Amino acid sequence: MSCASVWYTNVTPNLLFCFENGICLHLTRLTKQLPRLMATATSKKAAQNGADQPSIAQIPINRIVTLDEFILRSEKDFSYATGELTGLLRDIGVAAKIINREVNKAGLVNIIGEANGAENQSGDTQQKLDVYANERLIECLQNSGECCAIASEENDDIIHVPPVNSKQSHYVVMFDPLDGSSNIDVNMSVGTIFAIYRRKSDPSGPASLTDFLQSGMKQVAAGYVLYGTSTMLVYTTGRGVNGFTLDPSIGEFCLSHRNMVIPEDSQTYSVNQGYYSKFDLEMRRYIDNCSDQNFGLRYIGSMVSDVHRILIQGGIFLYPSTRKYPKGKLRLLYECNPLAMLIEQAGGKAMNTQLKRILDVTPTELHQRCTIAIGSPKMVDDLKAFIERYSALPL
């Protein structure tokens, strides 16, 4: 343990804290076995104590609830919970804090810019922070062994996670480590997007591609971390959406947005309108209509940031097909599915421009792209009506 590390147990019952250089890392990084053992022990203890503990809804609004406490308390909602999912969410929370630390000092050190001209499998230039975020997430997930395999937007193939302490994990994790990374060099918001699935293959053997090629409906948890003016982690396990803001003074994500609900309707749309002439007729007509109605246009160019704004203020985010990306630019597994689950859980809708619900699309490839329209339910329904009306017309 470095001399900058401080361990103590008396902040929140049943949790052991480790502060290292101002970041609350909990147990995750010290040994490969300790984090998992402690996470499991803590989860079991929390489950045993569950009957005595107030549910999240009963906790007064002004009482601080940390992400870890929330995850542990929520675990008792799942009868089949073993602590693995809890451990995974906590691993992602730890990785998010480490990534946040680097993102926040990106202008101070030689970490912004491109990573030696490297390209990911999709042909996009990799940024240094993309690589850093990818490595930290993989490391945190590998150390705990709570998942059996990982797929990242930045890696060509799936990454197998060796069992820790002979434990066979039942989960696979997918993520885009740093979405919107072209914004890094100009100090704009970026984000991490993640999705967790239960594996389909036999847990006694290695994970396979079929574990990842599941429809978005099969996600057991999904969320994002937004590195913005403040850093937020927003996630769902299929029982609503909750948001946590990182309090840098204590190094903890604290519950700040309970049961998030997206506004039913709005007058804001979000699309790269520079591609207008490359869009299909029905999409151009929809955009014309937004403009005719004096709707506001907001587009950051970082999907996490745009979708986060829409989750809170309402609106619709569009990435339709263009001539350059006839199937859409965004990735189904790393971007569209997790955000679709989250927005649906908040009362919104997400479909592709063939009008199919995103969560019902069956993936055929790991890095599959798709078109997307996501946001307030009324706006997605209006777009659907436009597409149905204009796609029937001859050009």
Which residues contact ligand AHM by CB under 6 A? 124, 176, 179-181, 272, 301-303, 329-330
Known catalytic membership, residue 176:
yes
**C-alpha to C-alpha distances, 87 to 82, 137, 213, 226, nearest whole angstrom:** 9, 14, 23, 21
- What are residue 318's phi and psi, to 5 degrees? -125, 130
Residues 371 and 270: their CA atoms lie apart, in Å, by: 14
Annotated catalytic residue within 68, 154, 282, 344: 154
Q: Which is nearer to ligand AHM, 12 or 272 (CB)?
A: 272
Given the complex with ligand AHM, which of 50 and 301 has the nearer CB atom? 301
Q: Which is nearer to Mg ion, 124 or 265 (CB)?
A: 124
91 is catalytic: no
Annotated active-site residue 288? The verdict is no
Q: According to the binding rule CB under 5 A, does residue 176 interact with Mg ion?
A: yes
Residue 135 designated active-site: no
DSSP 163: P
Q: Return the one option of Mg ion, ligand AHM, none that residue 272 interacts with (CB less than 5 to 8 A, by type).
A: ligand AHM
Q: Is 279 helix (H, G, I), strand (E, B) or coil?
A: coil
306 is catalytic: no
CB of 188 to ligand AHM, least distance (A): 11
Is 202 annotated in the active site?
no
* Cross-strand partners of 198: 171
Shortest Cβ distance from residue 344 to ligand AHM (Å)?
Answer: 19
Measured distance CA(239)–CA(231) in Å, rounded: 23
CB of residue 379 vs ligand AHM: minimum separation in angstroms? 17
Q: 317 pairs with which residues across the strands?
A: 270, 374
Known catalytic residue at 344: no
Residue 94 contact among Mg ion, ligand AHM, none, beta carbon within 5 to 8 Å by kind? none
CA atoms within 13 A on the CB side of 344: 20
Whole-angstrom distance, CA of residue 307 vs CA of residue 338: 11
Chosen residue from 69, 146, 154, 179 binding Mg ion by CB under 5 A: 179
Q: Which of 68, 69, 130, 146 is catalytic?
A: 130
Please check whether residue 67 is in contact with residue 3, taking contact to mean a CB–CB distance below 8 angstroms: no
Out of 75, 84, 91, 153, which one is annotated catalytic?
153
Please confirm, yes or no, whether 178 is among the known catalytic residues: yes
Token pair in block for residue 320: 């339709």
DSSP code of residue 167: P
Tell me which residues are annotated as active site. Answer: 124, 130, 153-154, 176, 178-179, 335
Would you tell me which residues interact with Mg ion (CB under 5 A)?
A: 176, 179
